[in-house]
Amino acid sequence: MMALNELGHKCIALVVDDSPESLWMVSAALEQSGITVLVATDGAKAIELTHRVEPDVILMDAMMPGMSGFETCRALKSGPRPLMTPIIFMTGLTENEYIVEGLASGGVDYITKPVVVEVLIARLSTHIINSRLLQSAREALDTSGRSVLAFDPEGAFLWGSQKAVEVLNCVELSELGGAWTKWVAECSTLPVSAVQTFEVGDVTFQFIGMTSASEVLIKLIRHNIDSKEDVLAKCFDLTPRESEVLYWLTLGKTNRDISAILGLSARTVNKHLEQVFQKMGIDNRTSAAVMADRVLNSE
């Protein structure tokens, strides 16, 4: 119980079971522990629910009508955006072959019925804490500006920092066929220095190493295809004309030069610069040029 109190914010558990009695018993126990409970009576409803709300943990029965718990788990843990939520099987199937199948399908734990509530809460708390620690580590990658993805040796996506996943969603790896799987296979067998980068449009995949769990770690680099004027406009909330004036200012051009280059009157250039200075929070040409240079050189 103490572990749940240390989680920091309210937890959401999704309980998937076709037995009303089991749903009621588990839901009541979890709610008494301060956990918000969502319920689904079959695999399809569980998958649909996760598209709307991402729970902190999923308790999954193995044998259900339609999709089994094992099939549901595989569906949740596969595809272009696999669910990171830990899935705990909670079932009356006690044979070793089912335990192995549950873990192989993507489950992190396997609890047999009848459930001992205290044991269930303790295991659930541990998996939630571990999951959040992993999520914090991935968020730290984003904060530090590192876009990192992890794949298995066959090229299937496992996890990634949020920014990297957003870019990955714009790349159709399935359409690359054997080239992608061959490259990832090289990553899992060759030293980092021997693996060339993999290019897809404006995105570069760079192999950076293997984890102890045989995950292929890849740095994702998206090359900036925006013009320098577009970059300045986005950074300082400038109009297209204001960003043009600022860009030529960074190149050391005088107001007269900018006027001639852009076909504007000197008065108009001065008005644009006044707006640029105001939006950038500075009051002179030198400060504007320095700030703009820093932005452009960081691209």
Listing DSSP states for 228-278 in one string gives HHHHHHHHHT--HHHHHHHHHHHTT--HHHHHHHHT--HHHHHHHHHHHHH
For the domain that residue 41 is a member of, what is the CATH number?
Answer: 3.40.50.2300
Answer whether 7's CB lies under 8 Å from 16's CB: no
- Rounded to an integer, the average pLDDT of 73-79 is 86
Per-residue CA distances from 239 to 221, 256, 276, 288, 299 (Å): 28, 20, 9, 16, 20
How many CB atoms are closer than 10 A to CB 236? 18
Read off the DSSP letter of residue 197: P
Q: Output the pTM of the full model.
A: 0.52
Q: Which residue has the higher pLDDT, 75 or 224?
A: 75
Tally of structural domains, the chain: 3
Six token digits for residue 205 = 């995949």
Half-sphere exposure of 120 (CA within 13 A, CB side): 27
Domain containing 46: what range? 2-140
Answer whether 255's CB lies under 8 Å from 273's CB: yes
Q: Is the domain of 26 the same as that of 128?
A: yes
Q: Is the domain of 76 the same as that of 185?
A: no
Q: Is the domain of 213 the same as that of 180?
A: yes
Q: Is the domain of 111 the same as that of 175?
A: no
Q: Is the domain of 37 the same as that of 20?
A: yes
d(CA 110, CA 104): 11
- pLDDT surpasses 80 at 175: no
pLDDT score for 42: 93
pLDDT tens per residue across span 48-71: 999 888 888 999 999 998 899 999
- H helices of the chain, in order, are 2-5, 20-32, 43-50, 69-76, 96-104, 117-143, 162-168, 178-189, 228-236, 240-250, 255-262, 266-280, 285-297
Q: Is the domain of 33 the same as that of 57?
A: yes
Answer whether 217's CB lies under 8 Å from 150's CB: yes
Q: Is the domain of 67 the same as that of 20?
A: yes
